[in-house]
Chains A and B, each alone.
Chain A
Amino acid sequence: MVEETLKHFINPYYIQVLTLLGIYIIAAAGLHLITGVTGQLSFGHAAFLGIGAYTAAICTMKLEIPFVLALVAGGTTAALAGIVVGFPSLRLAGDYLGIATLGFGEIVRVVFTNLEITGGARGLAGIPRKTDILVVYLAVILTIWAVYRLQHSRYGRALVAVREDEIAAECMGVNSLWYKVTAFAIGSFIAGVAGGLYGHFLQYLNPVDFGFARSFEILTFVVLGGLGSLPGVILGTTVLALAPEILRFGAVYRMMLYGFLMVLVMIFRPQGLLGGVNLARAWRVVRRGRRQAPAT
């Protein structure tokens, strides 16, 4: 209903773009928790999106479960998968973990391509349209609130400690494996919910959509926006997800430009756009400056 009213004011195409952007932000927030905050390389994040998407779709289509519950089911399944994958893999150091998640992501994609229940290579069609821009942005707000709270708490401090120096964190009493696995599970849950929203928006799911290309896309949002910075992730996702739209002019060349921009941004700002920028501190500095400066 909200969407119908909006359609009178804004071009429905833009509503679509914004809806997808919202879904991307949720997915990126999940990866932010895993990779940005806890420092665990995950190159298979899209697999959890896919697991959530297919689970939610099967719930609504075959089991007649209400949409919100289906989303929760999708998220939970993805979270469980995250624990199953995470538990053995998170003992691996850095790059090896990334490689393992990459492998896992591809295996999931191949499995989706082969299962009957997911429609195989033809994909799953006819998913009911349950997602609208209101639902998505409610979910965005909820997700950002949750991730922010988690990040700025004892739990979040422990996650960052694990990222900064796992051995030192352990010696402070942080059970690093537990924190890594839970961060993975929560991040995967969030991705699963994003997937469920995605499926009920596009009304069609194809395994190709959940391969490493998608994983890398989301990873780019997180890194470009600034690793470890939640506002950075939102900014990065917005800029990069909207870039192909803005670059519409050179439709054919736009992906080339996209790749070129990725390299450029990394070279000139390797920590990401808002990487290392503590917005709260910057705000305090600005306020202090305003108070000290005489009114002109």
Chain B
Amino acid sequence: MAPPLLELQNVTIRFGGLVAVDRLDLRVKRGKIRALIGPNGAGKSTVFNAVTGIYRPTGGKIFFNGEDITHLKPYAVARRGIARTFQNIRLFKNLSVLDNVKVGRHCRARSGIIGALVRGPGVRTEERRINEAALAALALVDLVHKKDEMAANLAYGEQRRLEIARALASEPLLLLLDEPAAGMNPAEKQDLQEVIRTIRAQGITIFLVEHDMKFVMSLADEVTVLDYGKKICTGTPEQVQADPRVIEAYLGREAG
């Protein structure tokens, strides 16, 4: 069996007295679409934040591509090929759509202060490549026509798509999507599912946190259910949906 792309071993995240994530074991296989679901406050976004280095796990280890990334800072994690979107959209509001995506490509380029001042041929080529990659990412989410708009001026759904384009610009190995369908209407959700499948077809592994059960079930290869920071079930969407513990914790508590 191939080693998992992302592995969480016994990860615990504590905030003062509150245990947000409790001894979580989780594996994300290469090339799959993996989902993490659970009621509000179950700790799903916290897991993402720990993987990307924003929070430091109180215990346990996180492995990516065979490497221990538990204590890495976010920028180091990004450089190793993990990209993400955020639950509460975190775009660079005063940058254009295109520039937002170009920043997404930051870790795949190199020119610095000297390059900025002395714009040699190497720097110009790099800028051109950044531009091309950014446009390609925008094309995937159908936002090229808005490339010079200020990010703040986009509609909500467009902003969510922009975040995905920005994350894709770095050609990540693993894409973390934090509630990508939040606030979308059914038509937009359909489009989003297509986009996610296209991304997976490009060989990128996808790990998503979602609230919308239907959205997840038709998309994911494997689902983990979290409740109060503890894993209560892992399996295919069908297995999870049928599991009585899941029904009690999640589906039973909320009216679907």
Contact = CB atoms under 8 A, between A and B. Distances in A.
B130 A154 contact: yes
B113 A165 contact: no
A172 B103 contact: yes
Interface in A168-211: 168-176, 182, 186
Given A170-B75, A175-B75, A157 B117 contact: no
Contact of B74 (A160, A164, A167): A167
Nearest to B108: A173
A161 B111 contact: no
A236 interface: no
Interface stretch (B57-65, B94-102, B188-196, B232-240): B94-102
Contacts of B127: 154
Nearest to A164: B92
A169 B112 CA distance: 16
Contact of B107 (A146, A153, A160, A172): A172
Interface stretch (B10-18, B78-86, B203-211, B248-256): B78-86
A171 B130 contact: no
B74 A171 contact: yes
Contacts of A276: 94
A21 interface: no
Contacts of A156: 116
B199 interface: no
Nearest to A173: B107
A182 B54 CA distance: 22
A161 B116 contact: no
Question: Helix, strand, loop or mixed for chain A's interface?
Answer: helix
A171 B109 CA distance: 15
B148 interface: yes
Contacts of A176: 75
Contacts of B109: 154
Given A165-B92, A169-B103, A172-B170, A154 B115 contact: yes
Given A154-B116, A155-B112, A157-B99, A171 B94 contact: no
A143 B127 CA distance: 23
Nearest to B116: A153
Q: How large is the interface on B (under 10, 10 to 19, 20 to 34, 35 or more residues)?
A: 35 or more
Q: How large is the interface on A (under 10, 10 to 19, 20 to 34, 35 or more residues)?
A: 20 to 34
A276 B170 CA distance: 28
Contacts of A65: none
B128 interface: no
B93 interface: yes
Contacts of A153: 111, 115-116, 119, 123
Nearest to A160: B95
Nearest to B110: A154
B73 interface: yes
B92 A168 contact: yes
Contact of A171 (B78, B99, B111, B117): B78
B217 interface: no
Contacts of B93: 164
B90 interface: yes
Most buried by A among B75, B77, B99, B104: B75
B118 to A, nearest CB: 9
A17 B83 CA distance: 52
B106 interface: yes
A173 B116 contact: no
Contacts of B90: 165, 167-168
A75 interface: no
A147 to B, nearest CB: 10
A149 B124 CA distance: 13
Nearest to A176: B75
A158 B116 contact: no
B34 interface: no
Interface string A102-128: 000000000000000000000000000
A291 interface: no
Contacts of B112: 154-155
5 contacts: A153-B116, A154-B106, A156-B116, A168-B91, A168-B92
Given A150-B117, A161-B106, A164-B95, 15 more contacts: A150-B116, A155-B115, A157-B95, A161-B92, A168-B91, A169-B103, A170-B78, A171-B77, A172-B170, A173-B170, A174-B75, A175-B73, A176-B75, A186-B113, A276-B94
The 6 closest A-B pairs by CB, nearest first: A173-B107, A153-B116, A170-B74, A173-B78, A168-B90, A164-B92
